[in-house]
Amino acid sequence: MNRMERKLPDAAGKRIGVLDLQGDVCEHLDHLTRLNVAAGPVKQAKDFEGLAGLILPGGESTCLARLLRAFEIDEIIIRKFRGGMKLWGTCAGAILLAKSLVGEAPHLGLIDIEVERNGFGSQLDSFACMASIPKVSPMPIPLTFIRAPKIVHVGKGVEVLLEMGDFIAAAESADVLVTVFHPELTPSLAFHRYFAAKCGLSTAEGEIVATDWDRTSWMKFARINAGESGPCPLGDVAGAGRSR
C-alpha cells in the first residue's frame, strides 16, 4: 500500500493533492483528511488526475524548485493550472508561486506578488502568533512562521488577506492562495477549509479547530510510530505533545 493512504474522490470525482517532493506533505494530508476532503500526495503525472486543487507545501524552495524541474512537474502544474486547478502555496510553496522574488529569478510565477525569502532572518528567528483573518475564519487563527518569506508587494488582481506591519502574510488571486505561515502545523483547519471551498469542494461541518490534533498527528501518514523512535537525547525539546 502507498506510504500515505489515498481517500476516494468526492461525488464530483475531485480531490486536493499535496505536492510530495520535499517538505511538510503529511501535515497537510492530515488536515485535509480531518475535513473529510479526498486528498493524496502528488509525485508524478498520473497523480494530477482529478485534482481540483494542489497544495505546494513549505520546505526549502531551492530544493523544491530543482526537483520540480528535474521531474518536469513544473510544466504539468502550469498546464493543469491553466485548465482550472487551484493552487495554495504555504511558505516555500508561496515562494515557488510568486511572480517576482527579491534578488532572484522567479520559479512558477503564477500569482502577481513579490516575495523576499528569509525575510525575518535565520531559522532561529522563527515565531508563532495569532491573527484575525475575517475572510477565512470568525475566530483568531494561530500562525507559525518558520524561516518565513515576506510578501512585500501584491499586483493587480491580488487581494491581501493579512497584513502585519511591513509585510503581507496571506493573499489570494481568483485561483491562487498564498500564506507565508504554516496552518498545517497548528490545530486550526480554517485555511484548509477555505482552500477546499476555493476549489469548489465541500468539507465536513463542525469545528474548525481539531481538538485531538497534536504535533505528531501527521505521523500516521508517514507510517512512523512515535512510540518506537526512542527518547530524544535532549528531552522533549520539540514539544511533541506526547510523553515517551
Least Å distance between CB 118 and ligand GLN? 5
What are the residues facing 179 on neighbouring strands? 90, 170
Member of 25, 51, 95, 158 binding ligand GLN (CB under 6 A): 95
Question: Which residue among the candidates 26, 28, 31, 91 is catalytic per the annotation?
Answer: 91
Inter-helix orientation angle 190-198/25-34, to 10°: 80
Member of 17, 59, 89, 187 binding ligand GLN (CB under 6 A): 59
* 153 carries an active-site annotation: no
C-alpha cell read off for 191: 485555511
Q: Which is nearer to ligand GLN, 91 or 113 (CB)?
A: 91
User: Can residue 117 be called a binding residue for ligand GLN (CB under 6 A)?
Assistant: yes
Which range in 54-62, 153-161, 203-211, 224-232 contacts ligand GLN by CB under 6 A? 54-62
* 192 carries an active-site annotation: no
Pairing mode of beta strands 176-179, 167-172: antiparallel
Dist CA 222 CA 220 (whole Å):
6
* 72 carries an active-site annotation: no
* Local structure of 63: helix, strand or coil: helix
Helix or strand holding residue 99 (H, E): strand 98-101
Is 219 in contact with 227 (CB distance < 8 Å)?
A: no
Dist CA 222 CA 25 (whole Å):
9
Give the dihedral sign, CA 203/207/212/215. Answer: positive
Q: Which is nearer to ligand GLN, 19 or 91 (CB)?
A: 91
Which range in 56-64, 150-158, 161-169, 214-222 contacts ligand GLN by CB under 6 A? 56-64
Which range in 76-84, 88-96, 202-210, 236-244 contacts ligand GLN by CB under 6 A? 88-96
Member of 33, 61, 188, 217 binding ligand GLN (CB under 6 A): 61
Q: Which is nearer to ligand GLN, 60 or 175 (CB)?
A: 60
Inter-helix orientation angle 61-70/73-82, to 10°: 90
Dist CA 174 CA 139 (whole Å):
23
Least Å distance between CB 3 and ligand GLN? 21
Is 202 in contact with 10 (CB distance < 8 Å)?
A: yes
Member of 58, 119, 142, 183 binding ligand GLN (CB under 6 A): 58
User: Can residue 147 be called a binding residue for ligand GLN (CB under 6 A)?
Assistant: yes
Q: Which residues bind ligand GLN (CB under 6 A)?
A: 58-61, 91-92, 95, 117-118, 146-147
